Amino acid sequence: MPRDYRKKVAGDSPVEILLIEDNPTDARRTIRALRRGQVRCRVTVVEDGEQALQLLRESRMRPDLVLLDWYLPKKGGREVLDEIKNDPELRRVPIVVLTVSDRQEDVTAAYNAHANSFVTKPVNPEQFDRTMKLMEIFWKGRRSPPSEHPTAVRKKRKR
């Protein structure tokens, strides 16, 4: 079952993040880093690739950003990335592979499958916090305005 961590923020809308991470410690660490970096976000966490794809397809969830662990149970990060990028309804969702791996073959495979970024998780907590803040700054500037967002509801004006 997905867990939803919502941080209420005044002002502009928070970044909607889907975190696909099977390690609870890494999930907590990522959320903590986002909070410490004062990243304005709502994070939904799922623990495996099958759950992630089911959530994206059945709920029509369209996050602003997916943080995808490369090594997942049931359906690995490569398979999840392939399925998202090959689905016409999902392919525009930006995906950052956030993993402990720094293997060149993983980096190459991720970019060949059209990942938008590949980030090796820093071990140092301060570096991890900084990495999360930089990702927010980078991706928030690239998300579409509400009127162009695929899940936005346009209100009709009364005449």
Q: Where are the domains of the chain?
A: 3-148
* Second CATH level (architecture) for the domain 3-148: 3-Layer(aba) Sandwich (3.40)
Residue 61 sits at the vertex; the CA angle it makes with 141 and 13, to the nearest 5 degrees, is 40
Please tell me the pTM assigned to this model. Answer: 0.77
From first to last of its 159 residues, the chain has per-residue pLDDT tens of 555 444 443 446 788 899 999 999 889 988 988 887 777 789 999 999 999 999 999 887 889 889 999 999 999 999 999 999 999 999 999 999 999 899 999 999 999 999 999 988 888 878 887 777 777 666 666 554 444 433 332 233 333
What pLDDT does residue 23 have?
Answer: 92
> Who contacts 94 (Cβ-Cβ below 8 Å, separation ≥6)?
64, 65, 66, 116, 117, 139, 142
